[in-house]
Structure 1
Amino acid sequence: MLAALLVLSACFIVPLPRLGSFTALRGLSKRLSKNQPDREEQELNWAAAMVGELRAGKQPVLALVDCHKDHPVAPHAVRASRLGARVTDALKRDAGHPRSLLYSVAAIWDVAHSSGTSLADILQKITEGQRQTLEVRRALHVELAGPRTTARMMSALPLLGLLLGVLLGANPLGWLISSSGGLAVMVGGLALNIAGYRWIQKVVSRVEESL
């Protein structure tokens, strides 16, 4: 019983990869492609290229098509521009969610066209702001690695305490197994240990998701 509880605790502290599952495959794919820019970085590179094309004097639709060759992040928008459809709706479809840079570009596309405002100037400001946000998010992700590691270390301390007791000649395992009080302490301690670890992980995840 003790071995089973210790294994259960270890599984919560250090999650084991589930080979064959979609989550594991997706994580493996991310590790293999870690040298490639992520979606946000691709959108920022696309926006920078768009600004360059627009400042060179190209019309927004032509700039959109030309930038797609090296930065294929807006295929629906390119298709819409070629068919004469609304680029704004297509950009929102490419964006996928309101926090995407493409969603912001969609919001200013028609406004800049109808008001005569320079799309390049607005796009450059949005790109600079988005890049700063991305840098802050990445820096915070690095900083949050500390609390995650601390949570794992703190969760492992009870197991190290048991091992230390055995090395000192005591018999903590025997007491935990042989008495009802010991079993209650062991089960309660494991429950609190797992709950504390999960709580810290949840807090850190919420901070990351809020950015």
Structure 2
Amino acid sequence: MTGALIATLSTACAVWLWTAPDTPTTRLTRLVTGRDKPRWTSLTTRLTRPTAARRAQLWRHASIELCQSLSAELSAGRTPGEALTRAIASVDFPAAETLRPVIAAARDGGDVSAALTSSAPPEGGEGLRQLAACWEVGVTVGAGLAALVERVASTLRAAQAHRQDVAAQLAGPRTTARLLAVLPALGLLMAAALNMHPLDFLLGSLPGLMCLIAGIALDACGLWWTNHMATQAQT
């Protein structure tokens, strides 16, 4: 009975370690929200905070909305600076404060292209960088900015549709990999239920401990490699 309880707790710990927020995101949240927050608030933030992949997805979606809104404002006859300011205000960005330099440059006649490039996040900011290049071409060459922005929006929508299709195709392999990673813990549960005392061997002897460490290492490497391949396929 004790072996079954320990195996159950081990399974729960494995699931938590796999689904827990990553360390860089936790550090970033502490820097942004402060370190003097109550513990329950920090826990709630960790559970509801979007992952890095989710933040990149939100930025890509917001970039598409920005291009569409900007194209509509330009087609309505507004000046580029006014159109960009109104378009940014109408879009819900994951971190709207990072676009303040862009709004200031658009209002004051500054370098909007450079502001867009510097405000674009490393992950998910390709839409803003393309818009910056489009803005630079429109200002330098004098090409129709509305048509260029609409072309950028079309490109971003096509790329987003491709990523969603790839993610849907990778959902099955991801689920299979996670299921296979949990099977050793299920094997421990079954062995404990049959009164075979697997933990006595794994934790009570040197060969068992070596088998346990090797199994955990191989399991973790398999999960990491599967996730790495899936992430590379989506980029």
Aligned partners of 1:77 and 1:90 also within 8 Å: yes
Within-5 A mapping of 1:147-162 = 147-162=173-188
Alignment partner of 2:119 out of 74, 80, 94:
94
Corresponding residue number in structure 1 for 2:108: 83
Corresponding residue number in structure 1 for 2:144: 118
Alignment partner of 1:200 out of 226, 231, 234:
226
Higher RCO (Cα < 8 Å, 6 or more apart) = 2
Aligned partners of 2:11 and 2:185 also within 8 Å: no
Letter in 1 for 2:72: G
Percent identical = 27
In structure 2, distance between residues paired with 1:153 and 1:43: 35
Letter in 2 for 1:56: A
Alignment partner of 1:108 out of 134, 157, 163:
134
Structure 1: unaligned runs, 5 residues or longer: none
Corresponding residue number in structure 2 for 1:63: 83
TM superposition score normalised by structure 1: 0.74
In structure 2, distance between residues paired with 1:187 and 1:68: 52
Corresponding residue number in structure 2 for 1:49: 69
Of stretches 198-207 and 131-140 in structure 1, the one that deviates more from structure 2 is 198-207
Structure 2: unaligned runs, 5 residues or longer: 30-42
Corresponding residue number in structure 1 for 2:40: none
Task: Decide whether aligned partners of structure 1 residues 27 and 152 sit closer, same or farther in structure 2, where only a CA change above 3 A counts.
Answer: same
Letter in 1 for 2:76: A
In structure 2, distance between residues paired with 1:163 and 1:192: 20
Counterpart secondary structure, 2:78: coil
Corresponding residue number in structure 2 for 1:138: 164
In structure 1, distance between residues paired with 2:107 and 2:201: 76
TM superposition score normalised by structure 2: 0.68
In structure 2, distance between residues paired with 1:61 and 1:38: 24
Aligned partners of 2:71 and 2:150 also within 8 Å: yes
